[in-house]
């Protein structure tokens, strides 16, 4: 059997359409159908703890999670210790310098001048 050729735009539309169609089918079959006709309650009686995270028998009222970006940066900086140390030192030194703030102020003044056409 021959393969079916599409234009690049047609291919994007087709794959997106198929993704949506198959996604809806998977949702209807594997979630709605099973939840409606097969889903069994975890407990016979509803209790409040069911909807709280529980650790060691105690409900957790405030869940604390570490920021994802912190975890990613931490892993990358551990992977490249030398590079991250150099980068953090140099960037800290650069940011501490008052020249940077003066430079940023100058950039803002130039930008505002250009936008508002403040020239003769």
Residues that bind another protein (CB under 8 A): 1-8, 10-12, 14-15, 18-27, 30-31, 34-35, 38-42, 50-53, 63-66, 68-72, 74-76, 78-80
Min dist CB 56 to another protein, Å, is: 13
Terminal-residue alpha carbon distance, the chain: 73
What distance in Å separates the CA atoms of residue 88 and residue 93, rounded to the nearest whole number?
A: 8
Min dist CB 50 to another protein, Å, is: 6
| Nearer to another protein among residue 71 and residue 114 (C-beta) | 71
| Nearer to another protein among residue 65 and residue 120 (C-beta) | 65
Min dist CB 94 to another protein, Å, is: 25
- At residue 100, the 3 state secondary structure works out as helix
90 token code pair: 């140099």
63 token code pair: 């869940």
What distance in Å separates the CA atoms of residue 118 and residue 112, rounded to the nearest whole number?
A: 8
């Amino acid at each position: 059997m021959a393969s079916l050729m599409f234009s690049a735009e047609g291919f994007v539309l087709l794959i997106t359409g198929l993704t949506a169609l198959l996604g809806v089918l998977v949702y209807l079959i594997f979630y709605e159908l099973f939840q409606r006709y097969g889903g069994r309650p975890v407990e016979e009686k509803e209790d409040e703890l069911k909807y709280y995270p529980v650790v060691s028998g105690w409900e957790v009222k405030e869940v604390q999670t570490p920021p994802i970006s912190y975890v990613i940066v931490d892993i990358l900086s551990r992977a490249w210790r030398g590079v991250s140390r150099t980068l953090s030192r140099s960037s800290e030194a650069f940011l501490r310098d008052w020249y940077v703030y003066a430079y940023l102020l100058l950039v803002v003044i130039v930008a505002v001048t250009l936008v508002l056409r403040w020239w003769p």
